[in-house]
Amino acid sequence: MDFKIPAAAKNVKLPEEMELMKEGDCEKGDVVLVRCLNSSENAFLKYVRSPDNKKIPLKNGDILLSVLSDRYATRVLHGVVPKHLKEGDIIDLLQQGGESGIIKSTRADFVKLKLEFMGFVVDRGKKINIRQFALPVKDVKKNPGLIIVIGVNMESGKTTTTSELCGALVKRGHKVGCGKLTGIGSVFDTGCYSAKGAFRSYGILDAGYPSSENLSEEELEDIFLRIFTNLAAENPDFVLLEIADGILQRETAILIGNKTLRKYKPKFILNCYDGLGAYGGKLVLKKRHNIAPVLISGMGAITDVGRKEMKELTDIEAFDSKTQSEKMANFILKSFD
């Protein structure tokens, strides 16, 4: 049987012969086989990404290996893992990583890519789940400099800041590892880090989770430890970690306040859209988490006037990560002195 393998299933080790369980209860991370019922050309999600970050268009009738997941994306959709599936049930593509579930709500112009459930992929009678292939937690003998990139909301420039800072530090001869701790599993962000010279880039898929929505603090801490300790075990100078969404979003707020994460004394970079976001973000971080960002970056910092406004409102230096990555790196390095 020919089928396409997306990024969400990149760590899955399939049995030599594909076996399917045609009906059963569902868990986040279950690996399933589905058949496309329409073309991605006519859907909002135009493709899925392969494990090596290439775009794979889908046609009606294509068979896809997928991973059951939730998805929380306020500007796109809200999807959930179904409780139970049987052969022939219809579910939806949730993200370009290849995750699937049931869409509960979408933006007005969203056209779904419908998927027919064919069965759970099983090995010796047991369902395969991506948790089985998670990175182990490792001992950390020497703590690297930990930098965590956060934002006041989605699409504020966090991935760009993380990637550009990584590149600037690498140019200075530093060994840098990167990771993304929350959101929905994707290889796009980790691919951006690797392209800028990160010696290793991990995401939540590598920690055994397809998404971070509705996870407990214990599970979120587990993601952090699996990603951070595997990067730190390779003796880098710095580890850069991106946290998705905004600082008021549930999972993000839980994670940045987590005692285990804070034990490693991270430096926080706040990404903002404008002066109001910078002003409010500083207040929220101080009041709720006793965090003072080292610097500000993001969409609001791409112009001189934007950086000046944010500095005046917060008394925190602001840098455009694309044009001022060298200055930003110098500034963050001095904060570790």
pLDDT top residue among 18 and 165:
165
Residue 295 has pLDDT above 90, yes or no: yes
In the chain, residues under CATH classification 3.40.50.300 are: 145-334
pTM of the model: 0.95
- At residue 1, the pLDDT reads 79
- Say how many C-beta atoms besides its own lie within 10 A of residue 82's C-beta: 18
- Residue 334 makes CB contacts below 8 A (sequence gap 6+) with none
pLDDT band at 19 (very low <50, low <70, confident <90, very high): very high
**What is the percent of the chain with per-residue pLDDT over 90, rounded to a whole number?**
95
Amino acid identity, residue 322? K
The amino acid occupying position 167 is G
Tokens of 177: 């590892």
pLDDT, position 135: 98
Adjacent-strand bridge partners of 241:
148, 179
Tens-digit pLDDT profile for residues 164-200 = 999 999 999 999 999 999 999 999 999 999 999 999 9
- Give the CA dihedral 66, 181, 108, 112, nearest 10 degrees: 0
Q: What is the pLDDT of residue 119?
A: 98
Quickly state the pLDDT bin for 75 (edges 50, 70, 90). Answer: confident
- Nearest residue to 269 (alpha-carbon basis) of 142, 146, 186, 143: 146
Classify residue 34 by its DSSP letter.
E
Spell out the CATH class of 145-334: alpha beta
| pLDDT given for residue 77 in this prediction | 95
Q: How confident is the model at residue 155 (pLDDT cuts 50, 70, 90)?
A: confident
Whether residue 81 contacts residue 117, with contact meaning beta carbons closer than 8 Å, is answered with no
Supply the mean pLDDT for the chain.
96
Cα(305)–Cα(309) distance, rounded to whole angstroms? 6
Helical (H) or strand (E) element with 254: helix 250-256
pLDDT at 250: 95
Cα–Cα distances in angstroms (integers) from residue 213 to residues 21, 72, 162, 240, 249, in the given order: 26, 6, 22, 22, 10
Distance CA 306, CA 7 (A): 37
Mean pLDDT of 25-48: 97
Nearest to 200, CA basis, from 167, 174, 171, 176: 176
Separation of CA 80 from chain center: 17
- The answer on pLDDT for 18 being more than 90 is no
- Tell me which of 16 and 255 has the higher pLDDT: 255
Place of tokens 């002195």: 337
Q: What average pLDDT does range 56-60 have in this prediction?
A: 96
Q: d(Cα 94, Cα 73) in Å, to the nearest integer?
A: 10
Centroid of chain to Cα 280: 24
Token pair for 126: 């047991």
pLDDT of 74 higher than 90: no
Using pLDDT thresholds of 50, 70 and 90, give the confidence band for residue 132.
Answer: very high
